[in-house]
Amino acid sequence: MPAPKNLFKDAIAAKQPQIGLWVTAADAGITELIGTTGFDWLVVDSEHAPNDIRSLRDSLMALNGSDSHPVVRIPFGEAWMVKQVLDAGAQTVLVPMVDTAEQAREMAAAMYYPPKGIRGMGASGARVSRFAAIADYVATANDEVCLIVQAESRAALDNLDDILAVDGVHGVFIGPADLSADMGYPGNANAPEVQKAIAAAIQKIAASDKAAGILTQDLASAKTYLDLGATFVAVGIDTVFLAKGLRKLSSDAKDLL
């Protein structure tokens, strides 16, 4: 039996638009609920959310059977972090703060078993192989892993052509918040200069054999990015949406008094 098919990888390779959501609650019950809501992909975040390897594993378990594909964001570009989340069951990994092609190559190597890469041979005792129930996991895993790197600095945009040339990178995700801060507009990703840089980057990625991705919290911007050529677009953050909804409910209820 081979490794499970990575339908998200196939979709972004074919440039089929995928709508996603950022998941930061760090709770498997919330992740399971979100997995029933119809998003194509979900970022299970451990850079800015309080996830560790056990809670990441639990969220991956909670998404078993969901049509929403889990994309695990690790805290930093370290090979050992890639190894842990892959063995926990992730197939698609999002790596923040990738500024150079050298960094992208290091992350690509971490995704693959030798001789293509340097991934450690520990799957037989791990969840990813269903504890050795998937007999052909090691032989087939390289075909189903998917690496997305985040370009979220001026340096990354300057090096974008070289990053796009790296074999083993399947998508480049623009990080508007950090990019805007690096460009001198912290907290203002809508600054015209930032949006111009984002648009140029998306178009460049879309013209390559890689897929472009981005996060926004309004649908008008999502439409703009899709029209520019972005393939995988996250349209919100779970905790932000929950907080806004509950604050409105609380305020509306108190208006009854």
Crossing angle of helices 192-206 and 219-228, in 10° steps, is: 40
CB atoms within 10 A of CB 80: 9
Could you report the per-residue pLDDT of 33-59, keeping only the tens digit for each? 999 999 999 999 999 999 999 999 999
Tell me the mean pLDDT in the region 127-137.
Answer: 95
Per-chain mean pLDDT for the chain: 97
Q: What's the CA gap between 1 and 134, in Å, rounded?
A: 5
Determine the residue type at 184.
G
Tell me the mean pLDDT in the region 83-103.
Answer: 98
Do residues 106 and 79 touch, judged by C-beta distance below 8 A? yes
pLDDT at 107: 98
Return the SS3 of 66: coil
Q: Under the phi-then-psi rule, with left for phi > 0, alpha for psi from -120 to 50, and beta for the rest, what region is 65? A: left
pLDDT at 234: 98
Q: What's the CA gap between 145 and 141, in Å, rounded?
A: 6
pLDDT at 187: 95
Res. 256 pLDDT band, cuts 50 70 90: very high
Which run of H or E residues covers position 247?
helix 238-254
| Residue among 235, 231, 233 at smallest CA distance from 13 | 231
**Entry pTM:** 0.97
Could you report the per-residue pLDDT of 150-191, keeping only the tens digit for each? 999 999 999 999 999 999 999 999 999 999 999 999 999 999
| Residue among 113, 58, 59 at smallest CA distance from 82 | 113
pLDDT at 1 over 90: no
Phi and psi angles of residue 194, each rounded to the nearest 5 degrees, phi first: -70, -45
Do residues 89 and 134 touch, judged by C-beta distance below 8 A? no
Could you report the per-residue pLDDT of 106-131, keeping only the tens digit for each? 999 999 999 999 999 999 999 999 99
Known catalytic residues? 48
Output the furthest CA–CA distance in the chain (Å, rounded).
Answer: 69
Q: What's the CA gap between 46 and 248, in Å, rounded?
A: 28
Could you report the per-residue pLDDT of 183-241, keeping only the tens digit for each? 999 999 999 999 999 999 999 999 999 999 999 999 999 999 999 999 999 999 999 99
pLDDT at 45: 98
